[in-house]
Structure 1
Amino acid sequence: MTRPAPDVVVEPDADSLARTVAAELVAQLAAAQAAHGSASVVLTGGGVGTAVLEQVAALATGSDGAGVDWTAVDVWWGDERFVPADSDDRNEKAARRALLDVVGVPAARVHPMPPSDGGFATPEEAAAWYADQLGAAAAPGSDLPRFDVLLLGIGAEGHTASIFPASPAAHDERPVFSVRNCPKPPPTRVSLGFPAINTAEEVWLVVAGAEKAPAVARAVAGADPVELPAAGVHGRRATRWLLDAAGAGRLPVPPP
């Protein structure tokens, strides 16, 4: 089956991008709850990822509450650094501070990847446990739960989640795996793989910054996913590139 072409949205700057993504995310979560009774989101880290969550929190604490029942939202992560729970390198820590603790997502619906001091001696054990958690939340006959929106970032060299170019992770067919010796610190991580990411209903790649523009252009054009992993992710229903003007700077200019 031929996948639809990715949707590309360009905002003037990173602040505008965060506001736009936040508004569209709460709308998508509300729509999922209307259809299924609950919603699920897979979070990413990084500066723009955290800025999006801060904007979601601002909407959620506004006069209309953004239309999302936060007690019926399941929260997962696309990757995590295998460091102590109180480390500022943890994506979970940033997400809790920016959004989850603000809106009161119930503890049972927050599914963080384990930290290095969370009872698992190795990232391999942590990855196996997380795969089990995904399976336990899945519908009968499936190994993975429904992901309504899966958020990702991209590195300047083209990595996404913790799948780095030409690394073992780029070839790994497991839904969750450990990653060691990452070229970007911290070097030890747990990550979803392509087989899990690409089951999401919608995959949104949220990218800001001119240093990422060459990788964005190559990925949108369909580069080899082993050499540029961001090119290998897609949603079942939609794949969206949500960019600031600098991040979109190497994309072809559409005809007038």
Structure 2
Amino acid sequence: MVEGWAEKRVVIAPDPATLADSVAARFLSRVSKRVDEGKLAHISLTGGSMGSRVLASAARSPRAERMDWSRVHFWWSDERWLPRGDAERNDRQARDAFLDGIDIPAGNIHATLASDDGADLDAAAAAYAQELAGFPGAEGPWPSFDVCFLGVGPDGHIASLFPDRDEIQITDHSVVGVRDSPKPPPERITMTRPVINSSKRVWMVLSGPDKASALGLALAGASYASVPAAGAKGRKRTIFFVDEAAAAQVPPDLIDREY
């Protein structure tokens, strides 16, 4: 497990639209810097409404058209176990919002197997772990993501790591199947904490008053077993990008007004 993570900070935008635009601009800037240095960039995407809004905002930027996307690889921290092309799959939402509009090799988009691809849930999780292992990083047989995007649920879950469930405790697998999820659909695939916490930057993006309690608990140092968002930590940066409605319980000393 990675040691010496970055301190958690909070960056506040006035509303969801401004939040999405600001995170999208930072995302494109980070990827551009990495690519301009001649390096590969590995990005882990998330699902949910804010994840899609960030990608849609990035798609509208002229900077996205100029980027050399051949040096960028996209992954997903979790996926819903649904048929390929289903509108509720995270990869479908990301393709619609962003990926289908950029010039990127098909092999750089690393989606999990779907429920109609002929493999069962555990085999699909193992296949994704093997795909991750094709790009090993310093921390394990998986990429060290330059940015790992995460949403945060009202219950504090991240990816498909839900409170008080076995998956949040798993450290000997990089990817696992989830059954009987408390949030539909009941079957999912998720990366585990070691993979998420090997990321250089963990960016959690959340909006709305229903997220205020989870954010407050995560910042207060709650147990990651009960509030998984509290255990998500990047090696260089751990940032909660939030709107004002979600920031109601944020201590002033944790607000970063310069990042």
Give TM class, smaller chain. over 0.9
Higher RCO structure, 1 or 2 (CA under 8 Å, sep 6+): 2
Q: Describe how 1:76-225 pairs up with structure 2 within 5 A.
A: 76-120=75-119, 122-138=120-136, 142-173=140-171, 174-225=173-224
Contact 1:154 1:212 in 2 (8 A): yes
The residue aligned with 1:52 is: 54
Q: 1:209 to 1:143 in 2, by over 3 A?
A: same
Contact 2:58 2:64 in 1 (8 A): no
Structure 2 residue identity aligned to 1:70: W
The residue aligned with 2:15 is: 13
Partner Cα separation in structure 2 for residue 130 and residue 177 of structure 1: 9
Partner Cα separation in structure 1 for residue 139 and residue 56 of structure 2: 36
CA RMSD of aligned residues (A): 1.7
Shift of 1:7: 2.0
The residue aligned with 2:73 is: 74
Partner Cα separation in structure 1 for residue 184 and residue 64 of structure 2: 37
Please say which of residues 26-35 and 200-209 is displaced more in the overlay: 26-35
Shift of 1:65: 4.1
Shift of 1:34: 2.6
Contact 1:30 1:67 in 2 (8 A): no
Structure 2 residue identity aligned to 1:201: K
Q: 1:102 to 1:166 in 2, by over 3 A?
A: same
* Unmatched 5+ stretches in structure 2: 255-259
The residue aligned with 2:257 is: none
Structure 2 residue identity aligned to 1:7: R
SS at structure 2 position matched to 1:136: coil
Please say which of residues 25-34 and 8-17 is displaced more in the overlay: 25-34
Contact 2:65 2:102 in 1 (8 A): no
Structure 1 residue identity aligned to 2:159: A
Partner Cα separation in structure 2 for residue 100 and residue 164 of structure 1: 28
| 1:42 partnered with 2:36 | no
Q: TM-score, normalised by structure 2?
A: 0.92
| 1:232 partnered with 2:231 | yes
Structure 2 residue identity aligned to 1:240: I
Contact 1:26 1:67 in 2 (8 A): no
Structure 2 residue identity aligned to 1:133: E
Structure 2 residue identity aligned to 1:54: A
Contact 1:82 1:190 in 2 (8 A): yes
Shift of 1:6: 1.1
Shift of 1:175: 1.2
Partner Cα separation in structure 2 for residue 37 and residue 253 of structure 1: 37
Q: 1:51 to 1:234 in 2, by over 3 A?
A: same
Contact 1:26 1:66 in 2 (8 A): no
Please say which of residues 19-28 and 168-177 is displaced more in the overlay: 168-177
* Unmatched 5+ stretches in structure 1: none
Identity among equivalent positions (%) equals 37
Q: TM-score, normalised by structure 1?
A: 0.93
